Amino acid sequence: MTSAAAPGRSVTARVPAKINLELLVGPRRDDGYHHLSTVFQAVSVYDDVTVEPADDWGITVTGPYVDLVPVDGSNLALRAARGLADVAGVAEPVHITIDKDIPVAGGMAGGSADGAAALVACDALWDLASPRGVLEDLAADLGADVPFGLHGGTAIGSGRGDQLAPVLGRGRYHWVFALSDVGLSTPAIYAECDRLRGATPVRDPSPSAPMMSALRSGDAEALGRALTNDLQEAALTLQPGLSEVLGTGMECGALGGVVSGSGPTIAFLVADHEAALDLAVGLTASGVASAVKRATGPVAGAHVLTSGAATGAASPPRRRGAQRPGAPDGGGGGGAGPGRPPGRGAPSSPA
């Protein structure tokens, strides 16, 4: 199979991790998911996903989590690329390289982020200029957290967490993440949450007034008090050592701390850059976390970082027949977030 793009052409997309400032879990739905109300924030811990034409579909992972990322058909980045190719009628395989800095199975949507980045990168490589809605629909099919990887910033998620509405908040926030070398299974966390609740009636959730007020005002202290996660008790039950991590972080001056998503990463909010350095040193010295990262938020969602091509124009990708109704038609944006984050986060110790 001959590549449709010029030899040597590649596109790299950068995508941030997410944290859940608030995660309220409602009753279980008929499809097995739970009704959710969550407030996402994208933070400056990044994966870089590079796509380039290839004779066959494939994937390579670099970085500190090489042994933890699947490189078969279950990888969300590979599924995303194939899904976009099917929708757009592109018959051009790509090889995907993931330079991974977002923790795996850490509650920061690392796999979902890679799916979002692959959509943006392939859209640019194949010169599709897909309408935003096409990428968002594909993202939602891949998983509940993937649409936020495209969106970035701060947003409310409802339904499974995939129905997004932007939050018009103020402020730039400083975060310290205490990582664990033992991951937690998302299905196991939700099952434990259900077990702990027993027969207690659960209402459909909605964003809390304290959270919305804190974000509107940009008050970091108020945001620290408002951090909430209904899955936290389940995470602490399955991994009791996280309680010590939370306690240590608060003793070291954090404004607030919360298990991110299904865990086990714990996100601590601090007042400023200097406080982040102090907390990172304190957590590292205490030995309660396997690694510590610092970041800021909110940041932009998945966006094209670099696009390189060999001398001469690239040919358009080969198409498999006519486009389906609703397939990319050259209009709309390609999913790149506004602005470009300056770097990939500042790890305080090796991750």
pLDDT of residue 184: 86
Predicted model pTM: 0.84
pLDDT at 311 over 90: no
**Res. 322: pLDDT tops 50:** no
Q: Which fold has domain 173-297?
A: Alpha-Beta Plaits (3.30.70)
Catalytic-labelled residue, pool 18, 114, 162, 230: 18
Q: Does residue 274 surpass a pLDDT of 70?
A: yes
Query: Cβ atoms within 10 A of the Cβ of 307, count?
Result: 13
Quote the pLDDT of residue 7. 59
Query: Residues 47, 48, 114, 145: which is the catalytic one?
Result: 145
What is the percent of the chain with per-residue pLDDT over 90, rounded to a whole number? 74
Residue 185: the pLDDT is 87
Structure confidence by residue, pLDDT tens digits, 63-91: 998 988 999 999 999 999 999 999 999 99
For the chain, domain boundaries = 10-167, 173-297
- Asked if residue 351 has pLDDT above 50, the reply is no
| 18 belongs to the catalytic site | yes
Q: When comparing pLDDT for 195 and 348, which is higher?
A: 195
Strand-by-strand arrangement of the 346-347 sheet: 256-259, 266-270, 173-179, 291-297, 346-347
Amino acid making up residue 251: E
Given pLDDT bands bounded at 50, 70 and 90, which one contains residue 104?
A: confident
**Catalytic site includes residue 145:** yes
What is the pLDDT, as a whole number, of residue 32? 83
Query: The domain 10-167: what is its CATH number?
Result: 3.30.230.10
Return the number of other C-beta atoms located less than 10 Å from residue 325's C-beta. Answer: 6
Residue-level pLDDT at 290 = 87
**pLDDT tens-place string over residues 172-219:** 999 999 998 888 888 999 999 999 999 999 999 999 999 999 999 999
